[in-house]
Structure 1
Amino acid sequence: MAMIPETMHDILDVTRQLHRELGQHLSQSADDNASERSQMLLNYLAEHEERLARTLETFQKKSDLGSLDTWFYEYTDRHRVIHLDPAETPFANMDTSEIEQEMGQFHDQLIDLYTHLHERAENETAKEVLAQLLELETTKAKLLSFESGRSQEF
C-alpha cells in the first residue's frame, strides 16, 4: 500500500482494503492450489477475509466521526502498517499448515498495530474505538485459528 495512514479513518481504510485484497488473493490461490484440502481452506479464508472487510466498513460508518479523525502520524510515518504483503504470499504453493501460519502472522501484525495505537491513544473515544478493533481482530483471529484447525480433522 502506497498510502501512509495518518488518522484513525485512514488506518481503517488501509486495514479494510488489506482484508479485501487478502480475500481476493486467497480465492485466486485456491484455484491454483493442487491440494483439495488446501483449496477448501483457502476458499474458507477468502470468505472470512471478505466478511471481515465488510465488518470494518460497517464499523467505520457507525463509529464516532470525531474519533476517526484522531491523528496517529507519529507512529505511521515511521512504521509500516503491515509488513507482509498478502499478494506476494504464494498461497497456491502452500499446504494447510503453511497457510495457517501465514494467516496467523498477518492477523498478528494487525493485532500488534491496534494494541500499539491503543496504548498511545490520547483521548478516550479513540481508545474505545481501538479497543473494539482490537477485540474484533483478536476474536476473528482466534475463530480463524480454531476453524482452520478443525479443517485438519477432515
Structure 2
Amino acid sequence: MQIETIKDVLSWTVDFHKNLKECVTHCSKQNQDERARMILSYVSGHEASLERMVEGFLNTANLNALDTWCYDYIGKHPIVEHGHCDSPFKELDTDHIMEKVVNHHEQVIELYEHLYSRVDIDSAKELLETVKNVEENEIKRMVQTANRFSDM
C-alpha cells in the first residue's frame, strides 16, 4: 500500500486492525491454554470494533484533513506492511499475548503522534489527535479487561 495522505494512513490502520483480528482468531484455535484462548477471542472482537471505528473516521472526517499529504513524514517513521499470520500467539500465555498486542498498538500510536507533530493543518491535527486518543483509550480498556481475565 502506497501511503501518501492521512486517508491512506487511516486505511492502513483499518487493515492493521483487520489483520491483527484475523491473526488472533487464527491463533485462538491453536492455543492450548483456555485463558489464552479467551483473551485471544476478546482481542479479536476488540480489533473488529477498532477496525469499524477507524473506518468510521474514513467515512466522516473532513476531506481536507483526509487529503493532507504526509508521505514526507512516513520515510522517517516507516509503516510496516502486514501480511500473513505466522501464528505468533499460538503458544503464548495471557501476559505475553497482551504484551505483544500492546506493543503493536503502541507502534500505531507512535505513528499518529509523529504525524501530528509534523502537520500544520488544524483539521488534520484534530483528526490525528482524535484517532490517537481512540487508539490509546481502547488499548487501556483492553488491558484492563485482560487484567480482569487474569483475576478469574
Question: 1:7-86, aligned counterparts within 5 Å?
Answer: 7-82=5-80
Q: Provide TM-score, normalisation by structure 1.
A: 0.93
One-letter amino acid of the counterpart of residue 133, structure 1: V
2:113 equivalent to 1:115: yes
Q: Which moved more, 1:69-78 or 1:25-34?
A: 69-78
- Unpaired runs of 5+ residues, structure 1, are none
- Give secondary structure in 1 for the equivalent of 2:137: helix
Deviation track 1:91-142 (CA, whole Å, cap 9, x = no partner) reads 0111111101001101100111111111111110100001101110110111
* Corresponding residue number in structure 2 for 1:6: 4
| Paired residues of 1:16 and 1:53 also in contact (CA < 8 A) | yes
Aligned-pair Cα RMSD in Å: 1.6
Deviation track 1:23-50 (CA, whole Å, cap 9, x = no partner) reads 0110110000000000000000000001
- Unpaired runs of 5+ residues, structure 2, are none
State how far apart, in whole Å, the 1-side matches of 2:110 and 2:3 are: 16
- Give secondary structure in 1 for the equivalent of 2:105: helix
Q: Which moved more, 1:91-100 or 1:69-78?
A: 69-78
What is the identity percentage for the equivalent residue pairs of Structure 1 and Structure 2? 32
The alignment of Structure 1 onto Structure 2 pairs a total of residues equal to: 152
One-letter amino acid of the counterpart of residue 102, structure 1: K
- Give secondary structure in 1 for the equivalent of 2:78: coil
State how far apart, in whole Å, the 2-side matches of 1:138 and 1:86 are: 25
- Structure 1 residue ranges (4+ consecutive) displaced by more than 6 angstroms after TM superposition: 83-86
State how far apart, in whole Å, the 2-side matches of 1:85 and 1:100 are: 20
State how far apart, in whole Å, the 2-side matches of 1:32 and 1:150 are: 23
Q: Say if 1:152 and 1:83 are closer, same or farther in 2 by CA, change over 3 A.
A: farther
1:89 deviation in Å?
A: 5.5
